[in-house]
Structure 1
């Protein structure tokens, strides 16, 4: 089975930074490594690696954040629906299929690809429990999110993302990657 290699760079608006992801798509699996730099709340660097099982279900996210004062790491794993953060079982994440790394547009890709939301017009809302990781703090929490296909676009689809009271109509390309996420990120490469 062949692997498609893609690279994307985004301007990330809330932290006045940039994020680049190098990814491989093999069948219904995704592997990626990425780097980001942000200026808010203080200058920081992020490096991560992400692996999925079949159907784009997260298997591992390893993240390192560096600031002037410290270096923090997180090893988040999902084995058969049982999540651990740095080796500690997290029952609050039971039922989650995906991770969502804060300020990282790449991690919106897995549920979109799994359900073909970038290709299927008129689909009902899809509800997900995510293992959400804050940046730069690397705190992990359970987060409920909704993705709803709104319309096909010239380059992919517009999908409404929702979490709590927050809503945003995000444009994805035909590969299932974010092109424009209002108030969060805009793709600089395609």
Structure 2
């Protein structure tokens, strides 16, 4: 499946699970893409801000993620680096529990669900495993998140996938645009630009 280049910017409004907003800027590099994003929210009576910079290769595989977050408990920062073969370091420490993960999924971000969809370019209808380094919004802790994406037939020019994250007993139908960016993440976010 081929996708168009992403726009220069995109934005999502958080819905139901939290109130807030995410804004992202896409900047091509010589051999890939840099993504700069910021998301703010109120969730369960708590506020938080997460700023992130993702460096991707040309296939949308994550190379590095630099993330900072602020909440009532203070400022936190984390740096995530991969060797490109599914091995990860969090703040310079090897994290073997993350071996085999290929993407970074920020709890605060709807955009990061686009990473495995763009990277895998799925065309058949079988579920595909896409384990990710999952980064929590409130404290930036990183953990493994096993998840699957199953492509469905396109509808009205949009790509649809059945998404499941068994650890959260969560599943939904995600809708993506022709750039491979999330349009609708039921109960979480909707694209507004």
Q: TM-score when scaled to structure 1?
A: 0.89
What's the CA shift string for 1:9-59, capped at 9, x where partnerless? 101122211001111356983320001111124122111100113422111
Q: For 1:107-153, what per-residue CA distance to the aligned partner results, in whole angstroms no more than 9, with x for missing partners?
A: 11111112223xx3x43211121111111221111111100011202
Counterpart position of 1:185: 189
Matched residue SS, 2:112: helix
Q: Which residue of 2 aligns with 1:15?
A: 18
Structure 1 spans left out of the alignment, 5+ residues: none
Q: Deviations over 1:63-102 (max 9, x none)?
A: 1111244100111111133201111110011111111011
Indicate the SS of the match to 2:18.
Answer: coil
**Aligned position for 1:127:** 129
Contact 1:155–1:172 (CA under 8 A) maintained in structure 2: no
State how far apart, in whole Å, the 1-side matches of 2:162 and 2:7 are. 27
Asked if 1:60 is matched to 2:64, the reply is: yes
Q: 1:45 aligns with which of 43, 49, 53?
A: 49
Taking structure 1 as reference, are residues 160 and 112 closer, same or farther at Cα in structure 2, changes over 3 Å only? Answer: same
Counterpart Cα distance in 2 of 1:167 and 1:44: 25
Q: Which has the higher contact order (CA 8 A, sep 6+)?
A: 2
Tell me which moved more, 97-106 or 174-183. Answer: 97-106
Aligned to 1:29: 32
**Which of 83, 90, 93 in structure 1 is aligned with 2:95?**
90
Tell me which residue corresponds to 1:169. 173
Q: What is the aligned residue count?
A: 184
Distance (Å, rounded) in 2 between the aligned partners of 1:44 and 1:157: 31
- Say which SS state the counterpart of residue 8 (structure 2) adopts: strand
Greater Cα shift, 155-164 or 180-189: 155-164
**After TM superposition, which residue ranges in structure 1, 4 or more long, deviate above 6 angstroms?**
none
- The alignment's C-alpha RMSD in Å is 1.9
Partners of 1:45 and 1:109 in 2: how far apart? 21
